[in-house]
Each structure stands twice: as structure tokens, then as C-alpha cells.
Amino acid sequence: MTSENFNAEIKKIESVMNGFAMKLTRNKENAKDLIQETLMRSFASRDRFKEGTNFKAWITTIMYNSYINHYRRAKTKNAVIKPIEDLSYLPGNTSKEMSGEKIILLKELKGMVNNLSDTYKIPFEMFTEGYHYNEIAEKMQLPMGTVKSRIFYARKKLSDMVSSRYDVSSLRVA
């Protein structure tokens, strides 16, 4: 597709692009940015467009995919992963300092984790360090379903260890 043909086709669907961008972003400035990114991507890959196919569908697909990619990047960018040692996010935890009781409980919990076999311990520790399932599966060269089940069973085993060691009904984090 030549530049002239591309520009002519864009002029025909300009209002459709504006409406679709506003529907996705619900913000005038973000819609303008999305349209600009869509135009840049579609112009750069205009040689991939097959003559005789639906140009409007091709452009709106590029726009939708650009929007989704931006949404995913923003979601990941804003995610804050706290290490397991930081318990400040727990309800009722008003102090930044940990009491002796909490330190002992945390050490005992770490000991319980260390008692797990490597089959369960390694994926569980990686998960608590903030790795996603797919990253763990890739690093351990395992199917993602296997990783998920090992993390699930590690949690179950830890829960059983805590239940057998403490009267869970009286245990509370304060």
C-alpha cells in the first residue's frame, strides 16, 4: 500500500477512529495519544495490509491491541511487590517495628518453609519473591500447571504445619 492510498483510507475512517479511541480510553487526551500510536504502527506496517481486505477492521484491531498493550504495561508498572518479610500491609499492624513475638513467628515460618522438599520450596520461594507463574515455569523448565500445583501444595503443607503447631483459632496478627 502506498503512502497516498494509506492517507486516503485513513481520511475515510477518521471519525470511526476518534469514536473508537474515545470509547476505549474515555479521555480526550489519551484518545489522541492512542490514535497517534495507531497511525504510527499501521503506517510502519502498511506493507502487511492485504489489498481487498477490510481496512477499517485492520486499523481498529491495531488500535485495540495498542490500547491493551498500554493497559498491561501501566498495570505492571504500577504494581508494587512487597517482600514476605514486610508485614506492614497486614490489618492491625500499626507499627513499623516488629515485636519479638512477630520476629519469632516469622523465623518459625521460615523454618517451616525450609522443611519443605525442594520440589515445593523452590517454586514457593520464587513466588513469594514476586516471580510470576510463567517466569517460574520458564526458569525451572516445568509446565505452568505443575508450578501452580506445587505452589498450591506448598501452601497447603505450610497451613497444615502451622495448624498442627499452633491453635490457629487463637493465633492472630496484632
Same CATH topology for 3-78 and 100-170? no
Q: Per residue of the chain (174 residues), give pLDDT as tens.
A: 788 888 999 999 999 999 999 999 898 999 999 999 999 999 999 888 888 899 999 999 999 999 998 888 877 766 655 555 555 555 555 555 667 777 777 788 888 888 888 888 888 888 888 888 888 988 989 898 899 998 999 889 888 888 887 765 555 554
Q: What is the 3-state secondary structure (H, E, C) of 117-129?
A: CHHHHHHHHHHHC
Distance spanning both ends of the chain, measured CA to CA: 67
User: Which pTM value belongs to this model?
Assistant: 0.45
Output phi, psi for 171, to 5 deg. Answer: -85, 125
Sign of CA dihedral 39, 41, 44, 49: negative
d(CA 115, CA 59): 55
Domain map (residue ranges) of the chain: 3-78, 100-170
The yes/no answer on whether domain 100-170 falls in CATH 2.40.240.20 is: no
The yes/no answer on whether domain 3-78 falls in CATH 1.10.1740.10 is: yes
